[in-house]
Amino acid sequence: MNGTGTSKVVLVTGASSGLGRAIAQRLVKAGHRVYGTSRRPEAHADEGFILLRMDLLDEATVNATVAQVLQNEGRIDVVVNNAGRGIQGALEDLTPEQAMAIYDLNLVGLHRVCRAVLPGMRERRRGLIINISSIASNFGLPYRGLYSVTKAGVDRYTEALRIELATFQVRVVSMQPGEFATNVDSARIKPEKVSDAYRARYERAMELLGSSLHYSRDPNEFAEVVAKVIAKERPRPLYRVAKGVQRLSVLLKFLLPGRLFEGLLAKHYE
């Protein structure tokens, strides 16, 4: 198989839980050869796909895992850059070290994976990179500002890479999930200390976030859309997979005058 047929070799980062696991399982069902990654693959039961070790913060493990898949399969057709974490806290309460940590994982980690897979994709003049961003990339969300920053970075990274690679027939796509029921809530980086100045509004914002996550969607719905994107010959630059108020708020941001939109957003967090 040379990657032009329907069965593709797919690498999904962060496939030990949440969206990544749902994506990997859905792609197995679609007949693809799927490799997932985790920092501790040995800690996870067999989920129906091969789980390899990769720590996005450690370039050597990224390169070694990509090399292993290439050795096994001779190619990687699709990469889903999914691994990532959230971060919460008033910007003033988060340390520069915490800012560097989330930047290193959500943005530089994805860059490490791209650098590892791109030589092979360019050479074969075929490939698809799906970067998992977030609906949060569209706004500077209060008390989740650094998360918004990293995901906005993912979107801009996608746009630039997409143009750089167009001549090599390698496609690059951003996908922005809304809220899906995963471990994202418990895995979020948190401030070491919450200042009294922000406490009430920060706690209210986290309460709001917690209750909306409680009603959030099944990760399998997101995986379904990923499977469809992979099946397309010419995928769009961006897919927003969000419903209701999340989807509407992106539209309002572009339609309303800046101050009016900001007022609505601030009111939501009051």
Ligand X SMILES: NC(=O)c1ccc[n+]([C@@H]2O[C@H](COP(=O)([O-])OP(=O)(O)OC[C@H]3O[C@@H](n4cnc5c(N)ncnc54)[C@H](OP(=O)(O)O)[C@@H]3O)[C@@H](O)[C@H]2O)c1
Active site residues: 16, 133, 147, 151
Identify the DSSP state of 14: S
Residue 189 has phi, psi (to 5 degrees) of: -70, 135
* Helix (H/G/I), strand (E/B), else coil: 38: strand
| Residues β-bridged to residue 51 | 36
| Residues β-bridged to residue 241 | 177
Residue 144: CB minimum distance to ligand X, A:
11
Judged by beta carbon, residue 123 or residue 207, the one nearer ligand X is 207
Judged by beta carbon, residue 134 or residue 249, the one nearer ligand X is 134
Residue 126: CB minimum distance to ligand X, A:
25
User: 52 and 86 in contact (C-beta within 8 Å)?
Assistant: no
Judged by beta carbon, residue 138 or residue 182, the one nearer ligand X is 182
For residue 194 the two structure tokens come to 């919450």
Q: Which residues bind ligand X (CB under 6 A)?
A: 13-20, 38-40, 54-57, 82-85, 105, 132, 134, 177, 179-180, 182-184, 187, 216
Distance in angstroms (rounded) separating the CA atoms of residues 179 and 105: 20
Residue 104: CB minimum distance to ligand X, A:
8
Distance in angstroms (rounded) separating the CA atoms of residues 210 and 228: 30
In what side-by-side order are the strands of the sheet with 170-177? Answer: 50-53, 33-38, 9-12, 78-81, 127-132, 170-177, 238-241
Which residue's Cβ lies closest to ligand X?
18
* Cα–Cα nearest to 19, from 228, 268, 224: 224
Residue 5: CB minimum distance to ligand X, A:
28
Judged by beta carbon, residue 1 or residue 67, the one nearer ligand X is 67
